[in-house]
Each structure stands twice: as structure tokens, then as C-alpha cells.
């Protein structure tokens, strides 16, 4: 997992380590890393270094200082370098270093002409010290851009970006990975990111979040638990209840069911309207329908079994394609009252109330749904506000609904009510496809059902279980993202393509048999 820090916290940590305002130790390290990446990009793009042309946008602060020292280093290696000064002032020692190395400076008015013959643009305009109201020049799309610390126009704490942000092909982030590069628009415009260690170590506070990667999956799923004990019996392998689908959206229930089964679930019990039942039995013959009268008896039996330590339905997946009507409200109330761990999505949100409860819940909204959930909890915030600071608003919802929130987007954010946060990057923009969320709900249902979580957490273990649930949510998102990458590699990323890639995704990331549930030999 890669720790993520708010940009202003990194800036504070840098300031703590400096002996005085003239101490250039960290800046020189940062500039060396920037120059190194510039060399790599110039060689990749032009096949040479000597005689190539680099232009840097240089802001008035330390970000500009980094750019000037990096340009000086390139100039010494035979690159034609020009610093375009964005403000009335610029870093003095940086300017002197550039001049000594033979580089030159120019005004913003000269930028267009300079860019006509330019192999690399270094964006050293504004970094962690940027304030609202930046004015940035327009940069043609075809020029390779290397961002110094972060693309100018990105908020290093939130990932919000102004319209005139300068998108980068590569970003060198100094000291740590900043939140603004890990989520929101900042993540989308930063290209590939290299983190340079400046030795900030103990000067940094606790990370704000962690970005999880493929090889974190086993840790997230909780290998330290005795997964091998599961698997001898279908009930131990995980039993998932599914409340989903409507006459209008029958496919959503089918996709969720197919994803759950593809994940290696022991048994799927489905509570769906008549209009969906036939499609479900035909397309997911492994599923076992659950008739309405049976539900009450089953939930009661579940409670008895819980006391005996062998719950029959280990988790519920609720919501894909669900209609808000009297029947579904009744079923939902019954299921929620039984306190079995559940993942709640889409159509169920309109029937969900904020407030405390005694159940392990993962809510999986996209930004629009989060907006509606927050509005119901009395928090007035637009979808645009959510996109500008997704971690903040996901955390608000986690508190308001006493649940883990998995906020879908280019960076999926999984956060517990106490603020523990994991980030999963989408493997491909094509994952934002119809039915993709239904597949994710199915995967999460299987992960939950197999995890053998307690139905009613006590106050004592509520924080630890919140973290466990967040880990599981991130595990599901990771498998989903990897299935997306595999499907994209084959050409298309429809929900059905995702389903087909699920076993391979599980196999690649961890388990030998490709199922989310680990089988004993
Ligand atoms: N502090 C340190 O020791 C280190 C800082 N580093 C670099 O320094 C950056 C932070 O430096 P700074 O704190 O100087 O901040 P920046 O260089 O990001 O920006 C601050 C400057 O921009 C101006 N500015 C900000 N918003 C503006 C606006 N809306 N309109 C017009 N002018 C505006 C400010 O007046 C100030 O002059 C980091 O991103 C990183 O690149 C690195 O060199 C590593 C070491």
C-alpha cells in the first residue's frame, strides 16, 4: 500500500526539516529527481539529449525554484533550456544557477513561439503553495509535459483541478504521494507518477489514506484468518442473499448474481420480483430462489444459527435494479433488522435512512448517488463539490450512515466512519460502463459472505470491524479493476466481459483456483 498525504502536510514537513529559509538541501534533491525524469522523457521522445529543447513554466515560489535548478542541470548536459517566468519574481538562487549553466529566461508573451519548437515542457508553475484564482497559459496537447510535484492548477489536498489545469504525461511528486494526485481530477491529469523520497520520515503526520495495489489483495482479504477452514462445505464457503432487480431492470440482478457466482460463492439465495425470476434461473442456474414467505423463517433461523456460530446467510447484496415499492421496502426492512452484513447499492439508497445501527454495511454510491444520500442526511453538497473533494464527502456519508462507503469513480474511495481510507485506482476509464456497478456489488457480496463476519458487532470491536470491512470493500474494488484491465486488453469492457474475466482476475491477483473464496486442498 502506498501512503497518501495532504499536500499541505508534506509542505509543513519540508518546512520542519529545513534549518533556515535559505536551506536548499531538499530543493536540490527535488530538482535532481525532476531533471532525471526530464532526461528519461527527452530520450524517449527524441532519442537524444544533446541539442533537444526544454521549456519550463516557472512560478514565483519554490515550485518554480525546483524547475530552475532542474533546467540548469539539463543545460549542463547540452539541452537548450528556457525558463518562462510566470510571475514578477522568481527563485533567485535558481535563476542564478540557470544563468551559470547557459540557460535563458523568457516572458509569457514568448511562450507560444517557444512551444513551436519544444521537445519537453516542464510545468514548475505552482505546487503545494498554490492558492485559488491561478491564471495559467494554454498549452498545446501534443507537447510532452512533465509536472514538478503536481500539475499546476491541481489542489494538492483534494484533487480538485481548475479548468485551465495543465495535464501532465508524468509527474514527479516530492516527499510523498499527495492526496491531490491520488484522487479526483488531480489523479486524471497527473499521468504516470514517480514519488521521490526526500527523507521527510518522522516529520510527516499519519497518512491520510493508502492507495492499494494488486499485491495487497491477500492482505486485504485477511489471509491471517483461517481461510483454509472454509471451503469444505458450501455453507462455509459463503452464502449470499440477493435482493435486486425489477421489471424495469431485470439485467442488474442477473449481472450481480453472475458476478457473485463467478467469485466462487458457496450458495446464492435470490429474492427477486416475478418479472426477474425466470431470467435469473435461466442465466444463473446455480442460484436458489427465496420465496417471500420463506424469508421470515430464514432470517429467524439465521439468528439462531448465528448464536451457534454457523450463520446460513453470511451476507446480503441489496439494490442493483431494485424498485422502490411497498414489497421491496418490507423486504429491505426485514433484512436490515436481521443485522447480517450487507452491501447496499443503487436502487436501495432511496429506501435507506441515515443514522446509527448495529449492522456491518458497505454502501457503494457513485458521486450522484452520494449527493442524494448526503442530501437526505441534511448535507447540502453538489456532485461537483463531491468530485472536487471526494474523500471528504465519502467520509461525511460514512459517518452519517454509520457505514463503510465505497465511492465509485476513477479513483474508488473506501472509507470507514472513523476516517480509515483506502483508494483503488480504476484500471481503465471504460470501467464506467452500464452494469459495471452491478458486477462490483456481486463481487463485494461474495467477499462479504466468505469473510465470516459477525452479524452484530459490539461497541468494543466496531472500529476494528470498520477497518476490516473497508479492507474487504477495497479488495472487491481491486478484483473489479483488474477484471476491467483484462477485459480492456482483449478490446471491450462491457459488464459481461468483466464477468468473463473475473476468474482470471482472482487467479492473477491471488488464489490458485481463481475464486475469491480460498479452497482447502
Ligand atoms: N519547502 C521545501 O523545502 C520544498 C519545496 N519544494 C517545492 O516547493 C513547492 C511549494 O513551494 P511554495 O510553498 O513556495 O509554493 P508554490 O511554489 O507552489 O507557490 C507559491 C507561490 O505562488 C504564488 N501563488 C500562489 N497562488 C497564486 C495565485 N492564485 N495567483 C498568483 N500567484 C499565486 C505565491 O504568491 C507564491 O509566490 C512544492 O510544491 C515543491 O515543488 C521542493 O523543492 C522540496 C522542498
Summarize pLDDT for 75-99 with one digit per residue, the tens.
999 999 999 999 999 999 999 999 9
Are 258 and 502 contacting, i.e. CB atoms less than 8 angstroms apart?
Answer: no
Q: Is the CB of 156 under 6 A from ligand 1?
A: no
User: Is residue 231's pLDDT more than 50?
Assistant: no
DSSP H stretches of helix in 18-157? 25-46, 62-76, 92-101, 111-116
Radius of gyration of the chain (CA): 26
Same domain, 294 and 420: yes
Q: Are residues 226 and 197 in the same domain?
A: no
The residue to mutate among 69, 127, 134, having the most atoms of ligand 1 within 8 angstroms of its beta carbon, is 127
pLDDT of 311 strictly over 50: no
Beta carbons within 10 angstroms of residue 297's beta carbon: 9
Cell output for 247: 421489471
Check whether 228 has a pLDDT greater than 50.
no
Confidence of residue 517 (pLDDT cuts 50, 70, 90): low
Residue 209 has pLDDT above 90, yes or no: yes
Least confident of 208-217, 277-286, 483-492, 506-515: 506-515
Nearest CA to ligand 1 atom 44: 27
Rounded distance, CA 325 to CA 408, Å? Answer: 26
Residue 10 lies inside a defined structural domain of this protein = yes
Count Cβ atoms below 10 Å from residue 239 Cβ, excluding itself: 21
228 and 339 both lie in a single domain: yes
Give the position, in ligand 1's atom list, of the atom nearest the Cα of 198.
44
**Which among 207, 240, 267 is the end of a domain?**
207
Residue 6 assigned to a binding site: no
Alpha carbon distance 332, 345 (integer Å): 12
Q: What is the mean pLDDT of residues 309-331?
A: 87
Please state, in angstroms and as integers, the Cα–Cα distance from residue 386 to each residue in 59, 408, 441, following that order: 29, 11, 22
- Which structural domain range is residue 224 located in? 214-509
Least confident among 114-128, 208-222, 298-312? 298-312
User: 148 CB under 6 A from ligand 1?
Assistant: yes
- Of 20-34, 139-153, 391-405, the poorest mean pLDDT is in 20-34
Distance of alpha carbon 506 from alpha carbon 242, whole angstroms: 22
CA distance 342 to 225: 20
Contact yes or no for 488/505 (Cβ under 8 A): no
Cβ–Cβ < 8 Å for 130, 150: no
The closest alpha carbon to 65, from 37, 36, 87, 95, belongs to 95
What's residue 295's pLDDT? 83
Cβ of 171 less than 6 Å from ligand 1: no
> Are residues 158 and 292 both part of a single domain?
no
- 61 Cβ below 6 A of ligand 1: yes
Of 159, 189, 207, which residue sits at a domain end?
A: 207
Q: Does residue 341 lie within any of the structural domains?
A: yes
User: 3-state DSSP call for residue 289?
Assistant: strand
Residue 332: inside a domain, yes or no?
A: yes
Tell me whether residue 520 is in a domain.
no
* H-run or E-run covering 147: strand 145-148
Residue 223 is predicted with a pLDDT of 53
CATH number of the domain enclosing 404: 3.40.1190.20
Reported ipTM: 0.98
Q: What Å distances lie between residue 39 and 27, 46, 77, 189, CA to CA?
A: 18, 10, 9, 21
161 is known to lie in a ligand binding site: no
Clarify whether residues 197 and 250 are in a common domain: no
In a domain, 135, yes or no: yes
Per-residue pLDDT of 436-474, as tens digits, reads: 999 999 999 999 998 888 877 777 788 999 999 999 999
Ligand 1 pocket test, candidate residues 13, 22, 24, 62, most atoms within 8 A of CB: 62
62 CB within 6 A, ligand 1? yes
Domain end marker among 155, 182, 207: 207
Q: Domain check: are 45 and 30 in the same one? A: yes
Flag whether 421 is marked binding: no
Strand order in the sheet with 192-196: 104-107, 80-85, 53-58, 120-124, 145-148, 170-174, 192-196
Q: Does the annotation list 437 as a binding residue?
A: yes
518 is a domain residue: no
Distance CA(320)–CA(348), nearest Å, equals: 8
Specify if 233 maps to a domain: yes
**Is residue 516 one of the residues assigned to a domain?**
no
At 4, phi and psi to the nearest 5?
Answer: -125, 135
What pLDDT is recorded for position 304? 60
Q: Quick one: cell of 427?
A: 484500471
Q: State the cell numbers at 465.
A: 470491524
| Ligand 1 nearest atom to the CA of residue 149, by list position | 41
165 with 225, same domain? no
- Is residue 412 a known part of a binding site? yes
**pLDDT of 432 strictly over 80:** no
Residues 492, 497: Cα–Cα separation, whole Å: 7
**Better pLDDT: 227 or 139:** 139
Tell me, yes or no, whether 219 and 189 share the same domain: no
pLDDT of residue 121: 98
Q: Are residues 194 and 245 in the same domain?
A: no
| DSSP 8-state secondary structure symbol assigned to residue 22 | T
Is the C-beta atom of 24 inside 6 A of ligand 1?
no
- CATH number, domain of 133, equals 3.40.50.10260
- pLDDT on residue 236: 55
CA 66 to ligand 1 center in whole angstroms:
10
- Identify whether residues 225 and 203 lie together within a single domain: no
Residue nearest to atom 9 of ligand 1 (CA): 63
* Same domain (yes/no): 453, 308: yes
Nearest CA to ligand 1 atom 7: 63
Q: Ligand 1 centroid vs 7 CA: distance in angstroms?
A: 11
Q: How confident is the model at residue 225 (pLDDT cuts 50, 70, 90)?
A: very low
CA of 63 to the centre of ligand 1 (A): 5
Give the C-alpha separation, 466 to 416, whole Å: 6
Transcribe 132-143 into DSSP letters.
Answer: S--------TTS
Question: pLDDT by residue (tens digit) across 357-387?
Answer: 989 999 999 999 999 999 999 999 998 999 9
Domain check: are 261 and 376 in the same one?
Answer: yes
| Longest CA pairwise span in the chain (Å) | 85
Number of folded domains that form the chain: 2
Residue with the smallest CA separation from ligand 1 atom 31 is 134
CA of 211 to the centre of ligand 1 (A): 25
Cα dist. 385→84, 157, 159, 382 in Å? 33, 14, 11, 5
Pairing of strands 411-415, 404-407: antiparallel
**CB-based burial label for 256 (10 Å; 0-12, 13-18, 19+):** buried
Amino acid at each position: 500500500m502506498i501512503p497518501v498525504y495532504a499536500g499541505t502536510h508534506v509542505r509543513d514537513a519540508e518546512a520542519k526539516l529545513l534549518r533556515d529559509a535559505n536551506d536548499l538541501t531538499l530543493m536540490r534533491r527535488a530538482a535532481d529527481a525532476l531533471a532525471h525524469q526530464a532526461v528519461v522523457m527527452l530520450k524517449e521522445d527524441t532519442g537524444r539529449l544533446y541539442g533537444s529543447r526544454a521549456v519550463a513554466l516557472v512560478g514565483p515560489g519554490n515550485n518554480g525554484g525546483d524547475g530552475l535548478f532542474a533546467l540548469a542541470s539539463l543545460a549542463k548536459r547540452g539541452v537548450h533550456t528556457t525558463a518562462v517566468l510566470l510571475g514578477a519574481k522568481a527563485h533567485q538562487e535558481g535563476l542564478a544557477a540557470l544563468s551559470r549553466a547557459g540557460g535563458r529566461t523568457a516572458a509569457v508573451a514568448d511562450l507560444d513561439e517557444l512551444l513551436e519548437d519544444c521537445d519537453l515542457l516542464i510545468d514548475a508553475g505552482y505546487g503545494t503553495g498554490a492558492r485559488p484564482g491561478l491564471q495559467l497559459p494554454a498549452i498545446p496537447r501534443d507537447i510532452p509535459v512533465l509536472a514538478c510535484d503536481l500539475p499546476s492548477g491541481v489542489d494538492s489536498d483534494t484533487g480538485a483541478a481548475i479548468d485551465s489545469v495543465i495535464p501532465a504525461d508524468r509527474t514527479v511528486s516530492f516527499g510523498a504521494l499527495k492526496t491531490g494526485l491520488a484522487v479526483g481530477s488531480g489523479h486524471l491529469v497527473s499521468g504516470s507518477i514517480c514519488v521521490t523520497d526526500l527523507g521527510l520520515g518522522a516529520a510527516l503526520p499519519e497518512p491520510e489514506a493508502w492507495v492499494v495495489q494488486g499485491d495487497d489483495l491477500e492482505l486485504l482479504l485477511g489471509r491471517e484468518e483461517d481461510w483454509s477452514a472454509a471451503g469444505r462445505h458450501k455453507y462455509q464457503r459463503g452464502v449470499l442473499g440477493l435482493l435486486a432487480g425489477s421489471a424495469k431492470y431485470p439485467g442488474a440482478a442477473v449481472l450481480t448474481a453472475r458476478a457473485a457466482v463467478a467469485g466462487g460463492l458457496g450458495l446464492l439465495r435470490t429474492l427477486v420480483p416475478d418479472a426477474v425470476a425466470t431470467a435469473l434461473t435461466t442465466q444463473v442456474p446455480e442460484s436458489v430462489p427465496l420465496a417471500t414467505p420463506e424469508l421470515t423463517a430464514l432470517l429467524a433461523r439465521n439468528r439462531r444459527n448465528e448464536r451457534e456460530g454457523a450463520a446460513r446467510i453470511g451476507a446480503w447484496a441489496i439494490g442493483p435494479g431494485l424498485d422502490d415499492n411497498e414489497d421491496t421496502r418490507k423486504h429491505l426492512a426485514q433484512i436490515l433488522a436481521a443485522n447480517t452484513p450487507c452491501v447496499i447499492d443503487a436502487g436501495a439508497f432511496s429506501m435507506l435512512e441515515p443514522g446509527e445501527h448495529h449492522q456491518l454495511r458497505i454502501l457503494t454510491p457513485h458521486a450522484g448517488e452520494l449527493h442524494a444520500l448526503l442530501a437526505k442526511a441534511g448535507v447540502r453538497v453538489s456532485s461537483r463539490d463531491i468530485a472536487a473533494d471526494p474523500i471528504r464527502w465519502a467520509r461525511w456519508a460514512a459517518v452519517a450512515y454509520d457505514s463503510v462507503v465505497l465511492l465509485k469513480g476513477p479513483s474508488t474511495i473506501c472509507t470507514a466512519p472513523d476516517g480509515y481510507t483506502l483508494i483503488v485506482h480504476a484500471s481503465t476509464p471504460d470501467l464506467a460502463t452500464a452494469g459495471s456497478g452491478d458486477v462490483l456489488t456481486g463481487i463485494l457480496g461474495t467477499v462479504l459472505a466468505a469473510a465470516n463476519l459477525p452479524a452484530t458487532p459490539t461497541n468494543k470491536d466496531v472500529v476494528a470491524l470498520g477497518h476490516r470491512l473497508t479492507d474487504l470493500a477495497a479488495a472487491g474494488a481491486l478484483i473489479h479493476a483488474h477484471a476491467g484491465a483484462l477485459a480492456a486488453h482483449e478490446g471491450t469492457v462491457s459488464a459481461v466481459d468483466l464477468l468473463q474475466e473475473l476468474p482470471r482476475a482472482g487467479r492473477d491477483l491471488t488464489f490458485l483456483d481463481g475464486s475469491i473464496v480460498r479452497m482447502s486442498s
